[in-house]
């Protein structure tokens, strides 16, 4: 591992490979959970899905099985969910979280929250506003785990032409998915981009950046351009990862050598 380097969008650690980075990420999360429980009696965790964190969850499950980490006092809020989608659909993020984490640890069922892909049309605003209120009522996120889209999205806050102030204020909401995101998700839907839901519910930029700390992971050569633009480029809504520059003291990036190759 290289030493910690300070960039405009946070402190960066580059690992030889994603395996080592995932082990470090699991350690980072376990420490955040223990610290929050010590101080407030519970930990409020913002979680991500996608390919990147799968091995992080594997390692958290291993720590739990070894008796080193309990989720009894952990409350979780996931970044996003496809819309519409049934929770039992294997491609739903609810199913992903059950498969990779919730089914294997001692988290109480009513503390693991995801946006609901079955909310009736016309009620998504109400549901998303309630989700933001639940996070606030739980005292805010102790930490948010993020991946980075190939197009620079965080959660499903896709690149857009909004002014930076307006982008920073975005709440949790229903959004149309960007074509790059749909193309990247096609593999999970049998290679058929047309089977990927066209919309998703996503935690907004505002609640993400309000987390007390943020760990963002990006692995592989295909993330290198978005990583470099987020860390070193201008703050712009066209590259949502760059918005992390506005809260850089609380942001940690764990990269592998490939995603860091153009820094």
Beta bridge partners of 201: 81, 174
Give yes or no: 158 in active site.
yes
Q: Which of residues 105 and 217 has its CB atom nearest to ligand F6R in the complex?
A: 217
Q: Judge whether 80 counts as a catalytic residue.
A: yes
Site string for ligand F6R, 236-255 (x = CB under 6 A): --------------------
Q: Which span (13-21, 24-32, 48-56, 231-239) binds ligand F6R, by CB under 6 A?
A: 48-56
Using the Cα atoms of residue 200, residue 213, residue 44 and residue 164 in order, give the sign of their dihedral. negative
With H, G, I as helix, E, B as strand and everything else as coil, classify residue 91: coil
Q: How far is the CB of 101 from ligand F6R (least distance, A)?
A: 13
| Residue 114 lies near ligand F6R (rule: CB under 6 A) | no
| Cα–Cα distance list, 247 to 145, 151, 194, 212, 242 (Å) | 15, 20, 37, 10, 10
Nearer to ligand F6R, 107 or 205 (CB): 205
Render 28-55 in DSSP notation, one character per residue. HHHHHHHHHHHHHSSEEEEE--SSTTHH
Residue 155 lies near ligand F6R (rule: CB under 6 A) = yes
Task: Report the site for ligand F6R in 75-104 (rule: CB under 6 A).
Answer: 79-80
Residue nearest to ligand F6R according to CB distances in the complex: 147
9 interacts with ligand F6R by CB under 6 A: no
Ramachandran sector of residue 10 (left: φ over 0; alpha: ψ -120 to 50; beta: rest): left
For the record, the structure tokens of 192 come out as 């058929």
Given 10, 84, 147, 152, the residue binding ligand F6R (CB under 6 A): 147
Residues forming the active site: 80, 151, 153, 158
């Amino acid at each position: 591992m290289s030493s910690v380097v300070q960039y405009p969008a946070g402190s960066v650690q580059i690992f030889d490979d994603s395996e080592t980075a995932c082990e470090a990420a699991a350690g980072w999360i376990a420490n955040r959970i223990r610290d929050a429980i010590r101080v407030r009696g519970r930990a409020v965790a913002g979680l991500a899905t996608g390919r990147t964190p799968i091995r992080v969850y594997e390692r958290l499950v291993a720590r739990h099985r070894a008796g080193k980490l309990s989720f009894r006092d952990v409350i979780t809020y996931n970044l996003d969910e496809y819309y519409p989608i049934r929770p039992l659909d294997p491609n739903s993020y609810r199913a992903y979280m059950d498969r990779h984490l919730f089914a294997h640890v001692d988290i109480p069922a009513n503390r693991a929250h995801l946006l609901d892909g079955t909310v009736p049309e016309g009620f998504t605003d109400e549901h998303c506003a309630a989700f933001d209120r639940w996070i606030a009522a739980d005292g805010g996120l102790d930490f948010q785990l993020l991946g980075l889209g190939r197009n620079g999205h965080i959660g499903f806050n896709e690149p857009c032409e909004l002014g930076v102030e307006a982008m920073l204020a975005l709440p949790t909401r229903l959004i149309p998915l960007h074509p790059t995101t749909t193309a990247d998700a096609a593999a999970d839907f049998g290679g058929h981009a047309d089977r990927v839901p066209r919309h998703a519910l996503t935690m907004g930029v505002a609640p993400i950046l309000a987390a007390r700390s943020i760990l963002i992971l990006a692995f592989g050569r295909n993330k290198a351009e978005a990583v470099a633009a987020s860390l070193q480029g201008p703050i712009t809504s066209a590259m949502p990862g760059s918005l992390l520059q506005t809260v850089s003291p609380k942001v940690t990036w764990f990269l592998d050598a490939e995603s860091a190759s153009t820094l």
